[in-house]
Structure 1
Amino acid sequence: MGRLLYELDHVDEKTRMSNQRESSKAGKSSFGWAWEMDNTQEERSRGITMDIAQKALATAHRQVTVLDAPGHRDFIPNMISGAAQADCALLVVDATTGEFEAGFERGGQTREHLVLVRSLGVAQVVVAVNKLDQVGWARARYEEICALLRPFLVQSGFAPAKTAFVPVGAILGVNLVDRESEEGKALSVWYKGPTLVDLLDKLEPPARDINSPLRLPLSNVFKGQGSGVGVTGRICGGVVQVGERVRVLPGDESAIVRTIDVEENSVPWAAAGANVTMYLTSIDPIHLNVGSVLCPANDVVPLAVTFSARIIVFDIQLPITAGASVEIFHHSRDVPATISKLVATLDRATGVVAKKNPRVLAKGVSAEVEISLRAGTLSGPTASTKPMPLETFAANKDMGRILIRRGGETISAGELSDRCASSCLTVGQASCLTFFPDCVRLGDFHTRSIPETKSVTAMFRNACEPRSLERV
């Protein structure tokens, strides 16, 4: 991703030389490009992405916010946090012999990450087959990888019309923006298709739910300059304005929005789909946590300790049973929970109940289950269970999706069903607020519109990161 930013003039020559010099001193000269996104000392010393890094880039017709997500299995929770903020995915796979196979075999990270991003609502994916220069720009190797991935993408729920493949040699800059270099001529012998930037320029921004109440799950909380506290996150619904008072859930606190930044530009308001950095006042930072949700004071998010969800069980070896201990992931929040009841198995095509009160849920099954949150294992027997801000999928798609993990493995994904309403602990009355119905696009929150520019949020993922000796 660092080389792509450089080719698009988002990294200056001074920064590039500094990263190259420092990575060489650290004995990781091939990681110089990666250091543009991997900014922490631990990431650079270990040679892997550990947290979400965010950068903005522009193509001819799109403003793209890139979320660089970890590829290592130890940092799946951080990857989930990034995927929950994305509109589309850019998957980078390693074409060198053995590396692609290691990520694509059963239990490999390529498979898991594709399933995760699709389960979180990402419908568009661009697959960049990288390091073809290390296999002599072999067309047969490129087509072999595409042939293996296509059926799996369809099986995972990606429509072929929203899936694209592109061959690249990222470290050399081949086919990122063009193929004019000497190295690119070998690829041009057999490939006449679009470049990576061409495909990013064709990504379609999804419809934004600006008429619903504000919903902003927090992905980061940090100390702001001077007074106030900084927070980041992606707006899942509605609009937020400078000077507005917002409620913080769970809890009884509220805060005032002092400033809003989008792509490092200060704006007076932001709408659904925007990745924002906001500075809040009139609140003690102790009341703000990663996973907290900001919403209007008069239209709050329901809180739940028990809820129902319709889930799809992934390719697991150990079936799910009632009473199973799991972790629930919702945006950047993960909490311990129990599958308290297996309500019914469902027909995957129609959603009709196939069998009530099943004993177990095996792989590939669609089912309705009841989930109960529980206190952390280290909190002691008298610790109370804290509720989670949740909404049904029908009310807000982004707020109504969950992932379920067990023992370090993602075992299912689900949507909160309408039955959730009967078991939620609601706080406050609901009323719909509508702001600025016209011309709302990510990165375009000023008083005038730019009709020819549309914005998307992409999630960049290097599928081979845990094993690769070179980073791009």
Structure 2
Amino acid sequence: MARHRNIRTMNYDEEYDGYDDVYGHSVEDDYASSPSMQHFLYDRSQEHQMSAYMQSDIPEEDELVSDESKSGNDVGVPSRIPPLGELEQAQLYSCLDLLRDRMGDALSEQAGIDAILACNFDAEKALDQLLKTSVASTLSKSTKSIIKPKPAPSIQVEKIRGSEVRDGKTPVKVVSAKKVVATGFSLPPTGTDASSSADRQPAKQESAVEETSRQLGCLQTPGATPRSTSPADREATPSATPKSQSRTRENRVDVASEYVKERSGTKALLNLVVVGHVDAGKSTLMGHMLFRLGQVSSKQMHKYEQESKKLGKQSFMYAWVLDETGEERSRGITMDVAQSQFETETKSITLLDAPGHRDFIPNMIFGAAQADVALLVVDATTGEFETGFESGGQTREHALLVRSLGVSQLGVVVNKLDMVGWSRDRFNEIVARLGAFLKQAGYKEQDVFYVPVSGLTGENLTALDEPKLTEWYSGPTLLQAIDKFRPPERPLNRPVRLVISDIFKSVGGSSGCCLAGRLESGMMQTGDKLLIMPLNEIIQIKNIAINEVSKGSCFAGDQVVLTVSGADLSDVSLGSVLCDPSQPIKVTSRIEARIVIFNIDIPITKGYPVVIHYQSLSEAATISKLIAQIHKSTGEVVRKRPRCLTKQTSGLVEIEISRPICMELYKDYRELGRFMIRANGTTIAAGLVTGIL
């Protein structure tokens, strides 16, 4: 027992001297570092207030809804600032944010405010002034230690073309190609580029200028590819345009004149989507038209006829022109968007055949998002029209979706009229019922036409021969009606934006990968270097194909297939965007949007889970905030912070998306500022992006 310690006579103060921090030691101090009983005891010696035990997440009553009020919420108010109006204050905060993004920690907040006010809210001039001051101070320090100047390679960064100030963000400025340009400002000319001997500096100073600019994040090492892992970094504009990217902007002084030069004398381009309820005969209708126009040979058509007859589906032989996959042919329905081309007298049509089944609405939304005009096909058979139009069919939903995605010109094709004996009364009944609905949906009467046809027999597709129809109908054929569509205005002089809708390996596999999509704005040429977002990598265009024909350039509105190099095929995903490196698209997971609610059973509340359909993307999202209920027509605020949004109302909301995606404001890019909201398999709202948070 001698080895055991006698704990009865042990002096604990001496035994544990210096061991107060031993793990597990019980502490009964005032601050209660561990959750012991002392932590929960009420101390009467301290003054307690009831408000300390109450929490409230009710927002302030004087919260404003306008964009101007939110522009400075996240910016700390400087210690010295003169009294300014709301507009001047918003400009000041926007310019200050830009200076922080460009200069980072090197920016003194008070110096930035003084420079902005001195330059009359011109962020570009303020940035130039601040940087010259910073560079001058750095040069004065570096020249003191120069012992012997030695030659250094000249610095030359290609110029970047800018534009006017938008949303408080100042783009870069156009300067001489001989000057050093660094994200919106120019440094003093050096070496042989100086205009006088007084401006010439030793080569050592030139290196100091390069080093100083690189420390401020203004120059990028040639050949380095920017890669970002955070959404905030991905949103940043690339610091400088590489030399090989100069032709992307330099050769496009006026894209509109280039368009007229290359496309003059050619037919106007039109993207046409065909929508409608399942089994309305969309694929048969358009397949038969393609055959009548010579886009499908008689030999190929005979093959389709024999193969469909073996499966007992001979009536689907024309549908097989567009439904090419085995699953589509075996099930007898369109599942994906089929694409083809044909020409009218004055138009070159890119045909998009969208699926009608409710299970493939996301694919239909993707096809409609690429379209300029649309054809709505309805079944004139007794009972079938009523099923698609009234009993939960897709006729109403497709018409609303197409209109919400910006398509204002619509052609209604009354198909299968031969099944009701070419009845004039049946045709007039369908026109009357659809006309009232389309007018409520936002279509103008002059932008909607109605054509009676038979997709299976081919009557009134390209020629009008049926005597029973000619007795009461003397209007245009379907081909002639399509030719009357007006081509929309193309955003040719805007920065390049192309949403990737398909990715596949090029022929041979070693010459790069192929990216397919519709060029939403701008112009692209072979050899251009573009930025792919949100991957944030540079790719080079090796070939441009339109309708399987190689071209040297393409313009806004073209459906193109690009053969590119510089990006790994596994890193590129659907929904990524090719854009101008000097003006990249924004990447975000939070947006502010104006939405229009359709017929819904459950009102939309805060925290409502939805699915966002944007171009070729379908992303889970949440309605994180209801900012206001607004008037459906005027856009005026009806009620701030409503508890819910019910059917047939409009509202301003904040939406949290599950992951960062590329988006643009509706006012800047109409095509890239629209999206659809679905929940529980139905479309519940359409939205316009009003703010990127």
TM-score, normalisation: structure 1:
0.85
| Displacement of 1:218 | 1.1
Deviation readout 1:399-442 (Å, 9 max, x if unpaired): 1111111111111001111x32xx1xxxxxxxxxxxxxxxxxxx
Aligned pair partner of 1:204 in 462, 480, 486: 486
2:574 aligns with 290
| Displacement of 1:207 | 0.1
**Helix, strand or coil: the match of 1:65?**
strand
Aligned pair partner of 1:134 in 415, 419, 437: 419
CA RMSD in angstroms comes to 0.9
1:70 aligns with 355
| Displacement of 1:107 | 2.7
- Asked if structure 2 preserves the Cα contact closer than 8 Å seen for 1:313 and 1:365, the reply is yes
- Asked if structure 2 preserves the Cα contact closer than 8 Å seen for 1:69 and 1:79, the reply is yes
For 2:543 and 2:338, the matched residues in 1 are separated by 21
2:543 aligns with 259
Larger Rg: 2
**Helix, strand or coil: the match of 1:336?**
strand
For 1:241 and 1:338, the matched residues in 2 are separated by 40
1:195 aligns with 477
Which amino acid in structure 2 is aligned with residue 408 of structure 1?
A: G
- Asked if structure 1 preserves the Cα contact closer than 8 Å seen for 2:665 and 2:673, the reply is yes
Deviation readout 1:53-105 (Å, 9 max, x if unpaired): 11110011111110010000000010011000000101111110111111101
**Within-5 A mapping of 1:326-405:** 326-374=610-658, 386-405=659-678
| Displacement of 1:254 | 2.2
The answer to whether residue 377 in structure 2 is matched with residue 92 in structure 1 is: yes
The answer to whether residue 495 in structure 2 is matched with residue 213 in structure 1 is: yes
Segments of structure 2 that go 5 or more residues without pairing to the other structure are 1-285
**Helix, strand or coil: the match of 1:66?**
strand
For 1:96 and 1:250, the matched residues in 2 are separated by 48
- Asked if structure 2 preserves the Cα contact closer than 8 Å seen for 1:337 and 1:373, the reply is yes
1:23 aligns with 308
2:512 aligns with 228
- Asked if structure 1 preserves the Cα contact closer than 8 Å seen for 2:524 and 2:554, the reply is yes
Deviation readout 1:367-403 (Å, 9 max, x if unpaired): 10000012xxxxxxxxxxx311111101100111111
1:249 aligns with 533
- Asked if structure 1 preserves the Cα contact closer than 8 Å seen for 2:535 and 2:572, the reply is no
2:584 aligns with 300
2:289 aligns with 4
- Asked if structure 2 preserves the Cα contact closer than 8 Å seen for 1:337 and 1:371, the reply is yes
1:111 aligns with 396
**Within-5 A mapping of 1:170-189:** 170-180=455-465, 184-189=466-471
- Asked if structure 2 preserves the Cα contact closer than 8 Å seen for 1:239 and 1:270, the reply is yes
1:453 aligns with none
Most deviating of 294-303 and 222-231:
222-231
Most deviating of 243-252 and 58-67:
243-252
For 1:264 and 1:203, the matched residues in 2 are separated by 25
**Within-5 A mapping of 1:19-58:** 19-58=304-343
Which amino acid in structure 1 is aligned with residue 666 of structure 2?
A: F
For 1:164 and 1:264, the matched residues in 2 are separated by 32
**Helix, strand or coil: the match of 2:476?**
coil
| Displacement of 1:106 | 4.8
For 1:69 and 1:224, the matched residues in 2 are separated by 26
Deviation readout 1:307-354 (Å, 9 max, x if unpaired): 100010011111111101111111001111100000001112211111
- Asked if structure 2 preserves the Cα contact closer than 8 Å seen for 1:2 and 1:33, the reply is yes
For 2:577 and 2:513, the matched residues in 1 are separated by 15
**Helix, strand or coil: the match of 2:515?**
strand
For 2:344 and 2:634, the matched residues in 1 are separated by 41
For 2:442 and 2:549, the matched residues in 1 are separated by 36
**Helix, strand or coil: the match of 2:585?**
coil
**Helix, strand or coil: the match of 1:360?**
coil
1:433 aligns with none
Deviation readout 1:255-283 (Å, 9 max, x if unpaired): 11111111222111111111111111121
**Helix, strand or coil: the match of 2:345?**
coil
For 1:71 and 1:254, the matched residues in 2 are separated by 38
Which amino acid in structure 1 is aligned with residue 386 of structure 2?
A: E
- Asked if structure 2 preserves the Cα contact closer than 8 Å seen for 1:38 and 1:53, the reply is yes
- Asked if structure 2 preserves the Cα contact closer than 8 Å seen for 1:234 and 1:274, the reply is yes
Deviation readout 1:240-299 (Å, 9 max, x if unpaired): 111111111112222111111112221111111111111111211012111111111221
For 2:392 and 2:384, the matched residues in 1 are separated by 14
- Asked if structure 2 preserves the Cα contact closer than 8 Å seen for 1:2 and 1:34, the reply is yes
Which amino acid in structure 2 is aligned with residue 398 of structure 1?
A: E
**Helix, strand or coil: the match of 1:259?**
strand
For 2:363 and 2:342, the matched residues in 1 are separated by 22
Which amino acid in structure 1 is aligned with residue 488 of structure 2?
A: P
| Displacement of 1:230 | 1.4
- Asked if structure 2 preserves the Cα contact closer than 8 Å seen for 1:307 and 1:416, the reply is yes
For 1:100 and 1:279, the matched residues in 2 are separated by 44
Which amino acid in structure 2 is aligned with residue 55 of structure 1?
A: S
Aligned pair partner of 1:324 in 602, 608, 631: 608
1:437 aligns with none
For 2:563 and 2:557, the matched residues in 1 are separated by 19
Structure 1 segments, 4+ long, off by >2 Å, are none
2:553 aligns with 269
2:451 aligns with 166
For 2:652 and 2:504, the matched residues in 1 are separated by 38
| Displacement of 1:204 | 0.5
The structure with the largest strand share of the pair is 1
1:448 aligns with none
Which of 1 and 2 has higher RCO (CA within 8 Å, sep 6+)? 1
Deviation readout 1:22-58 (Å, 9 max, x if unpaired): 1111221110000000011111111100001111100
Which amino acid in structure 2 is aligned with residue 64 of structure 1?
A: I
| Displacement of 1:232 | 1.2
The answer to whether residue 596 in structure 2 is matched with residue 312 in structure 1 is: yes
2:438 aligns with 153
TM-score, normalisation: structure 2:
0.58
Which amino acid in structure 1 is aligned with residue 504 of structure 2?
A: F
Which amino acid in structure 2 is aligned with residue 254 of structure 1?
A: I
| Displacement of 1:6 | 1.1
2:680 aligns with 407
**Helix, strand or coil: the match of 2:652?**
strand
Segments of structure 1 that go 5 or more residues without pairing to the other structure are 375-385, 424-472
For 1:117 and 1:8, the matched residues in 2 are separated by 26
Aligned pair partner of 2:365 in 80, 91, 94: 80
Aligned residues: 406
Which amino acid in structure 1 is aligned with residue 673 of structure 2?
A: G
Most deviating of 318-327 and 243-252:
243-252
- Asked if structure 2 preserves the Cα contact closer than 8 Å seen for 1:253 and 1:287, the reply is no
The structure with the largest helix share of the pair is 2
- Asked if structure 2 preserves the Cα contact closer than 8 Å seen for 1:114 and 1:153, the reply is yes
Identity of aligned residues (%): 47
